[in-house]
Structure 1
């Protein structure tokens, strides 16, 4: 099932798409699609008849597909071709960092180039949404703790990330740098997360064309691994890394985003995002 959150920023309501792709209001069933609600909602969805839910008129804005995210965990260098294009060695263990939850935005909201940025970049990724509290879980049981999947754009400012010292987080956490959605697609609709194509284009030019089977560490490995170091709670998100084709890796020179450009990206079966690039207002 495809779950959504729709409405003005900060006032999103829960919804879902029915079999005909029409938006239905879920607010009579749950107050929102977020952490603790996910654990209660997912079993109820199997008994829910979407045609009995109210239709939502018009074409409202779609917000982030999960609200109240507690942790936005990201995995770096998880595709061999991406590690190669950046000149990095393949990691022996997953590279884990956190993106600030204040970076989260909707699937069609603008990407805002922050003040002082010259190297704002793109990264299409498969996002994993946690559905049950996970702590010290095994790889074999890891997918049972997944609520579903979504598209993530791990927008990155490379100078902030790589040239300003310290950790990566400050190049990953600017406002608008974490679009998620359009949908939270429940786990039952994604039988194998290692069998999904993902892509990204800027102004109609395809830069990224990847496949999740090329991950160095699988979704199950990542969920298990992260749970050894921190508790994962319902509504937490793990962004699982990006394939080759980021702006930093373009030859003969890197290519970065500029105001006025349009970024489109998608993951097979999980929908597409579309963002206009704008400059930060003074």
Structure 2
């Protein structure tokens, strides 16, 4: 699978992803949230880590494991500086398709190369601040065909709320990145890709 164009930006710290932060997917999972093992909806953000081995520069190929169903999704990342969020990056969050969030998703999400990096970190003030991010829509194309529009107005927690809730139980250091989640398609899954596919992610104010 390929991404495009050339990248110059790399994360300077740990990249954290967020699960269930879009209204559609949260609603689809709601009936199961009161069942074992948790028996109630999550009260804090549900996070996972994208380890450094997953980082793939824009325009570089991502090797897909043989026989695995692999899905892609667009996400927006908050890049931390010394005084808070300093910039925003687009990501292609790649994962092996799986049915459960009950186990830490390391095996499905931390495969080598499974985080496509946007080519730039856009300064937050250039985008109008955290509250303005809700106005953004991110488009995902596969092989030049539009497959999904992610509307950030449909976040469960907007960027400022998510950041504040995460910082209640852990510290984010300069260089760390907090991804704000990925949305599912109407049927509950994410876009599947195959060897040879090209994925492009676009949003106003960002390079593809």
TM-score when scaled to structure 2? Answer: 0.81
Which of 13, 29, 36 lines up with 1:88 in the alignment? 29
Q: Which residue of 2 aligns with 1:260?
A: 196
Paired residues, number: 191
Higher-Rg member (1/2): 1
Note the residue ranges of structure 1 that are not aligned, 5 or more in a row.
1-59, 133-143, 273-282
Q: Which residue of 1 aligns with 2:62?
A: 111
Matched-pair contact (CA < 8 Å) for 2:74–2:150: no
The structure whose RCO (Cα within 8 Å, separation 6+) is larger is: 2
TM superposition shift of 1:229: 2.1
Alignment RMSD, CA only? Answer: 2.5
**Equivalence map 1:22-37=2 (5 Å):** none
Q: Which residue of 2 aligns with 1:130?
A: 80
Q: Which residue of 2 aligns with 1:244?
A: 184
Matched-pair contact (CA < 8 Å) for 2:133–2:159: yes
TM superposition shift of 1:117: 4.4
1:73-97 superposed Cα distances (whole Å, 9 cap, x missing partner)? 110111112334xx31275432111
TM-score when scaled to structure 1? Answer: 0.61
TM superposition shift of 1:172: 0.8
TM superposition shift of 1:111: 2.1
1:129-178 superposed Cα distances (whole Å, 9 cap, x missing partner)? 0012xxxxxxxxxxx6101101011111124x749x83112211111111
SS in 2 for 1:176: coil
SS in 2 for 1:193: helix
1:181-209 superposed Cα distances (whole Å, 9 cap, x missing partner)? 21100111011121111111212232211
SS in 1 for 2:138: strand
